[in-house]
Structure 1
């Protein structure tokens, strides 16, 4: 299988290079990135180098911790200790770091996340953030008894924005992952009326048992919040043409908004609103909540350095000729992670994952920018603030940074480097009621709408 993958990978890279050349591009990376926010491989390379340089000190600290744990276990089990950390050691000792340094008992924690409580809290938060009203449609025709349908209205005008289905539990033959599906695009119809958007969120959370209700792990709460962000993206983007509706945006942007929104499941106030013990009804103990929030930092250096390795392998394959993927992977693991790849492992068993990095590099970029700018949230938490989700925070943010909602007019075309200093500053500061993020989504697609409209008018005048 590994040999077959190697041959397929070699052929695929060569064909991509030929296709890009026929289309007038120097490399496949140039072809892909032209329509993405990075625009050019040089920007991606600069970003990856800069990020790797900044993360290396953290990676070295984390690697030293893993090595110390290995030394302790070697002494305990009377194994020889060579002072080396191998690829097959990392996941094992990274798990130990999470268990020993942060001591988050996931079995205890999930007792505070019953499905009904999480769903109500999540829907309440999204309604508050976007000034919307969700109403469950009773007796709606659905494809399974577990599925529920909601109608979404603008809270101020009462106008219907769209509808969404929640299909949360597993069953035989069902799609096995978490995803959001666009069932009907929101767009203008030929008569000038608007077709509402319809979306379906599909997950596979554990169902209730005879002894307990459906209980979610915290990472499942994060998944829930993330995927529902896609639902909001699809429903709130008011575009003219179906082809630009909702999540039909550039591949390196499509995850950015949901990644941004999932930050709320690492904040105390939203977590408290989405949780209570399924038996006692008590909130999550402060100590457990603090441990959970701190655990987000566990192993972040090594994790993100590995993502850089994959992205760099992909960039090398698609910007240089004659690259040996196995040798490049081994070299980068040693240089960036400081941990050699397993002997005989080429990395090509997962070549599909690596080949997707060209498209996902900037997604990781935005995700990391979000983590790096989380400190901005702290700037707006003071004794005069009642809670993080206050709409007054946005006004404070705009004043502090000298920003205005007009920055959204140039949102799509602003350079990647300035993204964290524009819309994310407003996001982390809490200006999340009605039009801000909703107009961000709308504007992202409307910019292309305008170009499309101009093209149609030009064709009509020529005819």
Structure 2
């Protein structure tokens, strides 16, 4: 008769506290540098640069202590009529390279705040995914699987941060984006939600979250009128500001 041996529980792994603290510190430094590595400097007043230089120098010292390399570019957004020559920021004695556009969290930012570069990159990347959708169609996959692949691989690219850039995009760029959706509809053989509907839905959803969260920095922008039915509109002089997220969201909330 075979003896039944009790299974001893495995001892828990003893984590090294020093390594854990170092990992936490690196994550904190990486999170704090996420903004400074791709620094968008919206120039409104001249004293912005002197206050920014010591902070950049301090961040570069933190990176050097962790044996990292600080690779940073600079984008200047200046819409003033009388533009001035901006003193470049230096890191370890080397001037930071000034660029006309850079990619930040999946969105291509340009110094004139237009979105043609971003939409062109997005359309090009989405068209590459259409090849795989056609292959799945050729393999005889059902429309349900094709639709799931579209939502995961193509629509997610077209609608990435859509509340940020879609409102200020041109009609030409919107047609190029919608053309990808129409091509996907022909492959799948069914109707798909348009980008305009997705943009409207996400603006309302994001605005609803901001309204419910009283600690949100933009919560005060959504103020109800004395009637309690409509929100107070925000004044704007330029079409760039009028087509931004907050103005669009307030208009959608008042018309829905």
TM value normalised by structure 1: 0.17
TM value normalised by structure 2: 0.27
- Structure that is richer in helix per residue: 1
Which one has more relative contact order, counting CA pairs under 8 Å at least 6 apart?
A: 1
